[in-house]
Structure formats: structure tokens, C-alpha cells
Amino acid sequence: MRKLKYVILGVALGIFSCQSTPEKENQITETEETPSEDRVSIAEIEVGIKSFIDQKTVENGGYFPVKDENHDLRMKLVRVHTEYLSNLGPQSHFACVDLVDESGDVYDVDFFMEGTPGDMDVTRTSVHKLNGKPFYSWKQNKEDKTWYRVALEESNNTLLGVIEGEDAFEFYYNASVPPLDGPAKMWVPLAESDEFQTVTIESIEVPGKQQNLKDQIYDNNLLFMELGPEDSGKELEIVYSVKRKEKGPYEASAPDPAVYLASNILMPKGGRFEEIAKEALGEKINDSHLVQARALYDYIIDNMRYMKFGDFGKGDSNYACDSKTGNCTEFHSFFISLARSVGIPAKFSIGASIPSDRNDGGIDGYHCWAEFYADGKWWPVDISEANKYTALATYYFGRHPANRIELSRGRDLQVSPGPASGPINFIAYPYLEIDGEEVKVNSRFSFMRKVNS
């Protein structure tokens, strides 16, 4: 394939408050069908843009520069949107590119190109979206067939379950002990404060004899209870006061490969997971972990359906691979198995998502998510939510909203005393063991948001 030559001739790049009427420089004229001999293929566009960005990245100390009067950004490539490649006319082409800055914000940048397949120039770029929120849309003039940019009001993702910035609420964790004929043991996760959530236990009522345990690998705190027939029907309630910040990519030292590149019981690596990951990556197998993670993220979105039937809810990567269905546990377990199989460290967390469209009431069970490590940072992802709300697919690659609480981290949790059946797969609901067997517990989550008066 001939190498494509790119030169930035002019950059009109910025966060736009666009005019509602067309500006001449922003118009695109849709013309006759481009002759086949001049048509640029998707492969040529993708390879060319990546080569251009790679070249500029090397020239600028490892970052692709994006500058305007208000911004001086240092960016890295995430992906080229080849599905949006357009031929705007003879020797005139358009494509979208996702770039991420040092803070982890993802910018969707429109690239405009002119020329023939072997000799094309990038003539103009403009920022279309920030973390999935558009600054403008494209609209067509019916009379002369030109396309022009139209400014949008500030996007609001609240109706799609997202609260950005910060959130504050009380979280109520309730469970009922079932009838017991003999001794039983129960483990419950205790939410903890970290860089993104401040958690205070306002009150706690638990049955039986209690003991605090520490999971040494993932640093989880668990409450252990020894129960008897006298505890039958008793209620467990923990009331948390939570202040939570929206979570973006955050710097961290290189993770322990013995933990974050390892196989888990239901989340194995290698074998067919390595084969699938390499097939999904294709030529991206030689790209950065950031580019590869986005390709695997898109693969899961494109190939799985969010459906709660069958043997779902265990976070079984093999089940997810076979059925291509599941809930959040399957989505993120499959992603982690694929990522670890090609050398991308990844981790699993679980808690609850707090409704954004009301300020109190019940919560529809637990929710889980994942993170992967690239470029010296952990990058949050929520693939099952991105699958349900495709408009937020860019947002959920590198972001977790403020309206959630994390209860525990990791898989195959080991504590002492622990269940007779072995490590705990993951824990959000109480884990009750009777005669060496796990027994489901009636659990309920609810909340009340703290609203400023």
C-alpha cells in the first residue's frame, strides 16, 4: 500500500459556540459520486491518519499536539472511526478520530482531507465532541445540498443514568437472614473511602457474632458473622453516607502482573480468549494498549447483548463467550479475559449504580464495572452501560459517573475465615454459607440523595 502523505495546512480546532447559520468555511458540498479510481478506501484512510498522528507524536515528544486560543492539548490516539468515513466530493474526504489528552478526556475530532489515495492532505480539523458530548451537529441545506455545522445546547446525560461532577447520597444496604436450622456463616462487603468516594457508616445493625476481615490481595474489608437458629428472620442494615466524584483516568504505578494479568476461576486468560482478542485487534496488535483496549471495548459492545437469562450473573467469561449474552458481570469479565490475554492489565469492581432521574427509592440490584491499565493510568470502563446506551459509548470509555458506590474489588477473594467452598467469586450481596453450600440471601438496596436547599 502506498504511504499517504499528510500536512496540516490550517487548523480550526476548538470548543465551539457555533453560529446557527452556516459559515462559509464550515460548509461541505455534496457533489456527484466520486469516480472509483479516485475513491479512498477505509483501510487507506485509517492507515494514513494513524501514520500521520504517529509521525506528529514522535516529533512532539510522545504526544499529538492540538492547539487553539483557549487550549494547548497533548493528545494520544484512541481509535479512528472508520464507520464514519465519507467521500464529500472528488478528492475530498472526511473521517472522525478519537484522541485523549493527558487528563483522560476523550475528544472526537473531525478530520477533513483532500487529494488522491497516494497524495492526501489533512486540510482542517475540528473538535466535535468531548467525552461523547457534541458541541455541534451537521445539518444539510435542502436547496444547495451543502452541509453546515449547527451549535447544540449543552448536552445533558442525566436521563441516560449519568451524573457528572459530584453526587452525595445515603445508601441503605439491607438483607434478611433466612430460616436457619443450625449454624451458618455470612460475609458482607464494607464500602471504603478512596480517591473518588468518601464513605461514612452512619449506622450498622447486624445479627450474630461479628468479626472484621481483610482481603490481603485487593484490600477489601468484609464483615464476618457466625449465625444460629436464633438469628432466623433477623435484619441486617448498614446505612452509608456517601460523597462520590466522577471517575476518570488516574495515575498509578505499574500493577502487579501476578494479580492483574492472571487467570481467575471464572475469568480465565489465554486459549480461545487470546485467539479472539488477537482476531478482534487485527493489525492493532502492534498499537498501544490504549488503542487495543478501545478495540476490545468495541468488540464486546458489537458482539454481546445485555440479557438476563440462562446461567448469567456469575461473571463467567466462558459463558459470555459462548452465549454472547449476560449482565454487567459477563460483559466485564469477558473484556478482562480478552485484555489480560494480550498483556493489558485489567481489574473488576462491583457496587451499585444510583438512579439519576429521582432522589430516593429502591435500586435495581448491584452493578459492576472494569478498569484497564495503559500509559501509566487506570482507565475506567462500563461496557454494559455503553451497550445499553450507545450515545454514551465514548463517555464510558474512560469515565464512571458520580452516581455510584463501590462495595468491593477483585475476584476470587480470600479471607480467613473463608467459605468452605473456596474463594468468593465476587461480593456485593451477602455471601451466606450453610453446610458448606452458598445460600441466596434476600437483599435490598435503596438510597436518598442529599439535595442542597
Residue 117 DSSP one-character state: T
Task: Report the alpha-carbon distance of residue 222 to residue 188 in Å, rounded.
Answer: 5
* Number of alpha helices (DSSP H) and beta strands (DSSP E) in the chain: 7, 26
Contact 49, 184 (CB under 8 A): no
Give the pLDDT score at 82. 64
- What span, in angstroms and rounded, lies between the C-alpha atoms of 100 and 130? 10
Integer angstrom CA distances of residue 208 from 183, 224, 235: 10, 9, 11
Alpha-carbon distance values, 339 to 344, 386, 388 (Å)? 5, 18, 21
| Range of lowest pLDDT (127-136, 316-325, 363-372) | 127-136
pLDDT at 104: 82
Q: Which residue has the higher pLDDT, 127 or 139?
A: 127
**Across the chain, what does the average pLDDT equal?**
85
| 219-241 average pLDDT score | 97
- pLDDT value for 81: 73
Confidence of residue 10 (pLDDT cuts 50, 70, 90): very low
Give the residue carrying C-alpha cell 487467570. Answer: 263
Q: Cβ distance 233 to 177 under 8 Å?
A: yes
Residue 16 has pLDDT above 70, yes or no: no
pLDDT at 145 (0 to 100): 60
C-alpha cell at 233: 428472620
pLDDT at 178 over 90: yes
Dihedral (CA of 246, 249, 251, 255) sign:
positive
HSE-up of 121 (CA within 13 Å, CB side)? 8
Cα angle 362, 161, 105 (rounded to 5 degrees) comes to: 140
Query: Which residues, including other chains, have CB under 8 Å from residue 414's CB and lie 6 or more apart?
Result: 215, 216, 217, 423, 424
Between CA 90 and CA 71 the distance in angstroms is 33
Q: State the cell numbers at 68.
A: 487553539
User: C-alpha cell of 36?
Assistant: 472509483
In this predicted structure, the answer to whether residue 222 has a pLDDT above a threshold of 90 is yes
Tell me the pLDDT tens digit for each residue of 380-426: 999 999 998 888 899 999 999 999 999 999 999 999 999 999 999 99
| φ, ψ of residue 81 in degrees (nearest 5) | -80, 80
Biggest CA pair distance of the chain? 83
Please give the pLDDT value at position 220. 98
Instruction: Give me the sign of the Cα torsion angle 256, 261, 264, 267.
Output: positive
Q: Which of 104, 63, 65, 113 is nearest to 85 (CA)?
A: 113
pLDDT band at 144, cuts 50/70/90?
Answer: low
Whole-model pTM: value is 0.79
pLDDT the model gives residue 277:
98
Q: What is the rounded average pLDDT of the residues 433-448?
A: 96
DSSP state of 393: T
Distance CA 336, CA 346 (A): 6
Question: 445 Cβ partners below 8 Å, 6+ apart?
Answer: 171, 172, 173, 174, 352, 362, 363, 365, 366
Residue 136 — pLDDT band, cuts 50, 70, 90?
confident
Beta bridge partners of 117: none
List pLDDT tens digits, range 71-96. 678 888 888 776 666 666 677 777 77
**Which residues are within 8 A (CB) of 421 and not within 5 positions of it... i.e. 6 or more apart?**
433, 436, 437, 438
**Within 10 Å of residue 11's Cβ, how many Cβ atoms?**
15
Spell out the residues 6+ positions from residue 153 whose beta carbon is closer than 8 angstroms to its own. Answer: none
The model's pLDDT over 256-265, given as tens digits with 9 standing for 90+, comes to: 999 999 999 9
**What is d(CA 87, CA 85) in angstroms, rounded to the nearest whole number?**
7
Element (H, E) at 339: helix 328-341
